[in-house]
Amino acid sequence: MSEQNQNPLVLVPESTAKLMKSISGESKGSVDDIIYCHLYGVVGDWYLSEISENREKAFGFQIINSEPVWEMDNWLTNSCKWGEISIKALQELVNEKFLKEKDIRFLITRDLFWEPIKFSKINIDQNTLFYPGTTDRSLS
């Protein structure tokens, strides 16, 4: 396994991106989509099924659920939906806010043991990473 593949703070290494379908622009997201990459942090989870050619954007399902006291609105908006995800922006948050500033709110990591799986087989009601305090996954 290459060094990049072993570093969970490299959100989408080339070997993972090569497995993923290219973003078609017509993606809607469904329970039958294959999820090739799982990212997670204290603010939520990202399940990636497609990626752009330049590797800066992905398509997938995201669950962002930050507590108001965390003051994350400038960077991430609470959501629970399929859509485009900026890998470039997430990687910048990891590099600048987590690694340089040591701000735990911006810890976003890749699941190194993730195997491609249909979205329907994933329990999205369960937080992957817990942060001290209350976190409510019911985003109505």
| HSE-up (13 A, CA, CB side) for residue 93 | 20
Report the pLDDT value the prediction gives residue 73, as an integer from 0 to 100: 82
pTM here is: 0.86
CA dist 115 and 94 (Å) reads 23
Do the domain assignments include residue 128?
A: no
Q: Tally Cβ neighbours within 10 Å of residue 19.
A: 11
For 3, the enclosing helix (H) or strand (E) is helix 3-6
User: Beta partners for 80?
Assistant: 63
In tens, the pLDDT along 31-82 reads 999 999 999 998 899 999 999 999 999 999 999 988 777 788 889 888 999 9
Do the domain assignments include residue 20?
A: yes
Report the pLDDT value the prediction gives residue 1, as an integer from 0 to 100: 52
DSSP secondary structure, 80-126, as one string: EEEEEEEHHHHHHIIIIIIIIT--GGG-EEE-TT---EEGGGS-TTS
**Domain count within the chain:** 1
Residue 94: domain span: 3-115
Do the domain assignments include residue 70?
A: yes
DSSP secondary structure, 34-89, as one string: EE-EEEEETTEEEEEEEE-TTSSEEEEEEEE---GGG--TTT---EEEEEEEEHHH
Round the average pLDDT of the chain to a whole number and report it.
87
CA dist 50 and 132 (Å) reads 32
Do the domain assignments include residue 17?
A: yes
Do the domain assignments include residue 137?
A: no
Do the domain assignments include residue 125?
A: no
Report the pLDDT value the prediction gives residue 65, as an integer from 0 to 100: 86
Do the domain assignments include residue 136?
A: no
Do the domain assignments include residue 133?
A: no
In tens, the pLDDT along 88-124 reads 999 999 999 999 999 988 999 999 999 999 999 998 8
